[in-house]
Amino acid sequence: MNAPSMPCRPVTAADWLDRYHRIRAETEALAAPLSPEDQTVQSMPDASPTKWHRAHVSWFFEQFLLQPHLPGYRCFDPRYAFLFNSYYVSVGPRFERPQRGLITRPSAGEVGDYRTHVDRAMTALLGGASDALLHRIAPVLELGLQHEQQHQELICTDILHALSHNPLYPAAREGWRWPVPATASTEAIALRAGAHPVGHRGGGFAFDNETPQHTAWLQDAAVAAQLVSNADWLAFIADGGYTTPALWLSDGWPLAQQWQAPLYWCRIDDVWHSHTLGGLREIDPCLPVCHISYYEADAFARWAGQRLPTEAEWEAAEAGGALGNAFGHVWQWTSSAYSPYPGYRPTTGALGEYNGKFMINQLVLRGSSCVTPRGHARPSYRNFFYPHQRWQFSGLRLAR
């Protein structure tokens, strides 16, 4: 898979509407194989029910587009704002996050009705929008669509986590398979010391956290063209990787002692398996390792006598064009703390809560994963998670 193509922002209302409906339909396609029961549960505070994701992204359009811009719009249910606001403190109180899995009503079906209601109103809004209005709402509309795509990935990661608690190893999607990575060079990509540009160069959509583009000074370095594979990881396990304290960051060592393999791995009759979106599967040594924490990625790199790349190194290497499987397989942990870029300014208003307030205690992942929606990824994309988190489709590549 090559670098993702930048989405061209639609120009006409019809283009927007087409894109809107396409993305909304993708969400419903992900939810379709899931039963009402599947869609209801929340397996940890970090995850959310499918039903909640489906409603929350709809609330986003209602809150930030329909209410301000569609005259006479009537909320589907005014109480939903309380239930389906995620973390926008500025727009009112919210239902407690860790209890989202207790909300059995509205049902999955009623959430479908809510989505239809919002879709109809959005069709009316866009269908009747003057060029001036279209121009004014385009940034929020774009953000709403990007936002829904982010939640599409979360629907996948969260349902896998939920189903992983079931000893019957159910599949979220029958027949789901890991994508097969392209062959990548065994030679690392060399970076020359000096000033490199980092961040989104403009043209096409980017989140505020990717901006402004700025200069970073890199030292001589080499970034692996290949992702670390399951075969590599099995060697790490076999060599006592999880039981050697000197390999681990101090904060990670207590966790390492509770782990003995990536998340979702289990040993059945002496063979390593993994619970995937398609159910239980034997570990394939050729695939990239997935569902590892930053602590594990860092320990693996130390064991291998190398290190993780910084996000600037990753972006510079990607720009060189030889980074294998950068997109569409696993997010790749970098050693960079998730901080504001020099000169970063959050969007004003409630949408300014989108990114900035999370810029602490997390690390940046680059690339994209096999559950990232098509057209959503780009080289400057900054994903971020806490170093102990493993339920995302996260892997690594090495640097030195």
Least separation in angstroms between CB 249 and a copy of itself: 5
Question: Which tokens sit at 28?
Answer: 């419903």
Question: What mask of x and - would describe binding to a copy of itself in positions 348 to 377, judged by CB under 8 A?
Answer: -----x---xxxxx----------------
Give yes or no for residue 71 binding a copy of itself (CB under 8 A). Answer: no
Find out whether 1 and 327 touch, Cβ atoms under 8 Å: yes
Buried b (16+ CB within 10 A) or exposed e, 216-239: bebeebbbbbbbbbbebbbebbee
| Helix spans in the chain (H) | 13-31, 50-61, 67-69, 80-84, 108-127, 131-163, 230-238, 253-256, 294-303, 311-320
- 261 to 320, contacts with a copy of itself by CB under 8 A? 294-295, 298
Residue among 23 and 55 whose Cβ is closer to a copy of itself? 55
345 near a copy of itself, judged by CB under 8 A: no
Q: Is 243 in the site for a copy of itself (CB under 8 A)?
A: no
Token readout for 375 is 């057209």
> Is residue 245 a contact point for a copy of itself (CB under 8 A)?
yes
Per-position x/- string for 168-187, each x denoting binding to a copy of itself as judged by CB under 8 A, each - no binding = x-x-----------------
Residue 383 has phi, psi (to 5 degrees) of: -90, 155
Separation CA 93–CA 143 (nearest Å): 22
Shortest distance (Å) from residue 114 CB to a copy of itself: 13
Of the candidates 195, 203, 258, 270, which one interacts with a copy of itself according to CB under 8 A?
195
CA atoms of 134 and 137, how far apart (whole Å): 5
Distance CA(268)–CA(117), nearest Å, equals 47
99 binds a copy of itself (CB under 8 A): yes
Q: How far, in whole angstroms, is CA 4 from its chain's centroid?
A: 15
Rg (CA), the chain: 22
Considering the complex, state which of residue 107 and residue 229 has its C-beta at the smaller distance from a copy of itself.
Answer: 107
Binding mask of the shown chain, residues 114 to 153, with x at each position contacting a copy of itself by CB under 8 A: ----------------------------------------
Least separation, in Å, of the C-beta of 258 and a copy of itself? 16
Angle, CA of 213, 204 and 360, to the nearest 5°: 45
Q: Does 387 bind a copy of itself (CB under 8 A)?
A: yes
d(CA 263, CA 261): 7
- Which range in 39-47, 130-138, 257-265, 376-384 contacts a copy of itself by CB under 8 A? 39-47
Q: Which stretch binds a copy of itself (CB under 8 A): 78-86, 231-239, 260-268, 318-326?
A: 78-86
Measured at the CA of 125, the angle between CA 121 and CA 129, to 5 degrees, comes to 170
Q: Do 394 and 289 touch, CB atoms closer than 8 A?
A: no
Scanning 9-17, 217-225, 257-265, 272-280 for contacts with a copy of itself by CB under 8 A, the matching segment is: 217-225
Beta bridge partners of 223: 189, 399
Q: Is there binding between residue 40 and a copy of itself (CB under 8 A)?
A: yes
Closer residue to a copy of itself, CB minimum distance, 123 or 361: 361
Residue 162 in the binding site for a copy of itself (CB under 8 A):
yes
Total of residues contacting a copy of itself (CB under 8 A): 63
Which of residues 27, 39, 293, 368 is near a copy of itself by CB under 8 A? 39
Q: Tell me the one-letter amino acid at 350.
A: A
Distance CA 19, CA 8 (A): 11
**Interface with a copy of itself (CB under 8 A):** 35-41, 43, 51, 79, 82-83, 87, 89-90, 95, 99, 101-105, 107-108, 162-163, 165-168, 170, 195, 214-219, 221, 245-246, 248-252, 294-295, 298, 335-337, 339-340, 342-343, 353, 357-361, 387
